[in-house]
Amino acid sequence: MAETGMKDEALSDVVASDASTTAEVEAVLDAPVERGEPILQVRNLVKHFPLTQGVLFKKQVGAVKAVDGVSFDLYQGETLGIVGESGCGKSTVAKLLMTLETATSGEVFYKGQDITKLSGRALKAVRRNIQMVFQDPYTSLNPRMTVGDIIGEPFDIHPEVAPKGDRRRRVQELLDVVGLNPEYINRYPHQFSGGQRQRIGIARGLALNPEIIICDEPVSALDVSVQAQVINLMEKLQDEFNLSYVFIAHDLSIVRHISDRVGVMYLGKLAEIGTDAEIYDHPTHPYTQALLSAVPVPDPEAREGRERIILTGDVPSPANPPSGCRFRTRCWKAQDKCAEEVPVLAVPEVFAGRSTLAAHESACHFAEEKDVVHAA
Ligand SMILES: Nc1ncnc2c1ncn2[C@@H]1O[C@H](COP(=O)(O)OP(=O)(O)OP(=O)(O)O)[C@@H](O)[C@H]1O
Ligand code: SF4
Ligand SMILES: [Mg+2]
């Protein structure tokens, strides 16, 4: 059975850094990356959570394959959107990139250093440069801390970024940057609205001048009108501070608005990845087509006669994924080959070498274009 993995030529080459001493590694991690160059290179990333049985003598009886061989590049200055249904492994990818979870296998190269293998001061330098904004602005902020303490907390671990005497000024500056009144520094989270709280979360994410921000459903808990304001703020900050974003969401419209490229995940794997025009206007993977067919379109003419693909069946358990293509139990095009061979994420042969936006990576044996956004 063929094993998955992205086709080599589709991913940028990893130039592994040969720095060996801690000081050399730190210097490499702090060096700037040119716009458009890969800043993060994820290769065959796997995270299996062991399933155990027994009380005293725990025995492993299986594993939840939350992330099962994911590869992608993040380019400096871009926003890579990651979409997929609940439980497909998006947050686990985020935690692996943040080194909050230990990878079962695979690599995450940041400026040529595999961060899954780092520890001590080098890991600390990585954590300063890769920050996260979380989904829920209601629970992710400690209710007993003032906004000033919340935003300034990262300085306790990295005092070199803002020495003690300078912290108040720096926090007020950050409040101003995210559009909040600097005089609110002594207020508590409950005194803010949801949108304002997410601005506080973003200010905290910016505190250490990171290069990459991993945003895990940053606007999903907010009202639609507030979502747009927060997204606009994030876009403005990206330009101002030269940030690269991994933007996780299950709302495809929001992802399209903010992303340069989009990866679609299904059951621990990437099903399709490409620029937003490639994915939204020329999807070739049946799963992406089904997701897109459910996205509302504002134009009534386009809406009329539009095909809506209803997926039947539940998402299979990640502890026991289907053989071959993981989407086959819900795919209307599935054939015998789909149960036998794992489709590789690569430009499908039918499109290879052709100048069409359908020529992007898609993990389907029978990839074909289907316009699901416009009417037939
Ligand atoms: N610490 C853990 N131990 C065991 N299983 C876990 C753990 N964390 C996540 N999982 C499982 O891994 C799978 C992927 O979870 P994950 O949170 O990454 O999904 P997600 O795509 O972020 O979903 P959502 O859209 O609901 O946030 C799920 O089946 C989840 O139950
Ligand atoms: S490989 Fe087969 S089952 Fe999987 S998406 Fe393509 S047609 Fe469907
Ligand atoms: Mg999640």
Ligand 1: lining residues by beta carbon, under 6 Å: 49, 64, 66, 84, 86-92, 250, 318
pLDDT for 222: 87
Share in percent of the chain as helix, strand, coil (round to 5):
35, 20, 45
* E-strand stretches of 111-161: 113-114, 130-133
User: Which atom belonging to ligand 1 lies closest to the Cα atom of 67?
Assistant: 14
From the CB of 328, is ligand 2 less than 6 Å away?
A: yes
Cβ-based neighbour number of residue 225 at 10 Å: 8
The CATH number of the structural domain formed by 38-53+60-259 is 3.40.50.300
Nearest CA to ligand 1 atom 18: 89
Q: What residue segments make up the domains of the chain, in order of their start?
A: 38-53+60-259, 284-362
User: Which atom belonging to ligand 1 lies closest to the Cα atom of 89?
Assistant: 18
Tokens of 153: 């907390």
The answer to whether 107 and 43 have CB atoms below 8 angstroms apart is yes
Nearest C-alpha neighbor of 343 from the set 327, 319, 359: 327
Q: 211 CA distance to ligand 2 centroid (A)?
A: 37
Ligand nearest to the CA of 342: 2
Q: How far is Cα 330 from Cα 338, in angstroms, rounded to an integer?
A: 12
pLDDT for 260: 96
The answer to whether 131 and 213 have CB atoms below 8 angstroms apart is yes
Q: How far is Cα 120 from Cα 139, in angstroms, rounded to an integer?
A: 29
Tokens of 24: 């050399």
Q: 82 CA distance to ligand 3 centroid (A)?
A: 11
Provide the 8-state DSSP code for 355.
-
pLDDT for 278: 95
Q: 304 CA distance to ligand 3 centroid (A)?
A: 33
Element housing 170 (H / E)? helix 167-177
Q: 364 CA distance to ligand 2 centroid (A)?
A: 5
Ligand nearest to the CA of 89: 1
pLDDT for 376: 46
Q: Which of 338, 341, 345, 350 to mutate to test the pocket of ligand 2 (most atoms within 8 A of CB)?
A: 338
Q: 373 CA distance to ligand 2 centroid (A)?
A: 20
Q: 124 CA distance to ligand 2 centroid (A)?
A: 42
Instruction: Give the mean pLDDT per block of 10 residues along the chain (376 residues).
Output: 43 82 82 87 97 85 95 96 94 95 96 92 92 83 94 93 91 96 95 93 95 93 88 95 94 90 97 95 96 82 76 90 97 96 96 93 96 63
Ligand nearest to the CA of 96: 1
Nearest CA to ligand 1 atom 29: 87
Q: How far is Cα 78 from Cα 80, in angstroms, rounded to an integer?
A: 6
Q: 264 CA distance to ligand 2 centroid (A)?
A: 14
Nearest CA to ligand 2 atom 5: 364
User: Which atom belonging to ligand 1 lies closest to the Cα atom of 47?
Assistant: 12
Ligand nearest to the CA of 83: 1
